[in-house]
Homo-oligomer: A and B are copies of this chain.
Amino acid sequence: MSNPDPTRRNESSRRAVLTATLDLLQEVPYTRLSIEGIATRAGVGKQTIYRWWPSKAAVLFDAFLILSEADAGEPPELPDTGDLRADLMLVLRATAAELDSPQLAEPMRALATEVAHDAGLARSYHERLDAPLREAKRRRLRSAQATGELAADLDLDVAVDIIWGPVLNRWLQRGGPLDEAYLEALLDTALKGMQPRRHEL
């Protein structure tokens, strides 16, 4: 056992780096997080990090992949009780809580701003992190189309943007709190625009 499997050793260093990154973001703002700091916390050499990741943003991105894998490989699913407004209120409340939580706020701001500055990272983000979530949102809206709660001709991508875009933008730009009153008012107005027209009913 003095010479353990190098693949496993690599995987354990990789995990240590990603965990160290998320841990450190509880303590320092992302803008002051350094590869050196991550290496020290993870107990690996700086060169190990540079060998596997081209940038701090790439490390952060992989740390997010680990977080999303922690959901045990299940595709994300929105609640579907048959009451779209109630289900979306649950989801938006949970999203607001995540965005405001000390564990996730800083890493999520960091990811959002790196995506804003880096077109290549943005592509990976949309393909690997955002796409499954967006598909889950569309699936819930499609189900509401099937039950007649939403218009049959609704553009589901626009609908997702109208419901979630204001929330993400208000949070990221610090425009105001994502409190109950805001989320209710948002859903009321957004969903009203998505209902079937009278003659469709």
Residues of chain A touching chain B, judged by Cβ–Cβ distance below 8 Å, are 29-31, 109, 112-113, 115-117, 119, 122-123, 125-126, 130, 154-155, 157-159, 161-162, 164-170, 172-176, 182, 185-186, 189-194, 198
Contact = CB atoms under 8 A, between A and B. Distances in A.
A185 B158 contact: yes
Count identical subunits in the complex. Answer: 2
A59 B198 CA distance: 54
Given A170-B165, A189-B155, A189-B193, A109 B117 contact: yes
B162 A186 contact: yes
A170 B30 CA distance: 23
A161 B172 contact: no
A173 B116 contact: yes
19 contacts: A29-B117, A30-B117, A115-B174, A116-B172, A122-B173, A122-B174, A125-B173, A157-B176, A158-B186, A161-B166, A161-B186, A162-B162, A162-B189, A165-B169, A166-B169, A168-B169, A168-B173, A190-B193, A193-B194
A185 B29 contact: no
| Majority secondary structure of chain A interface residues (helix, strand, loop or mixed) | helix
A175 to B, nearest CB: 7
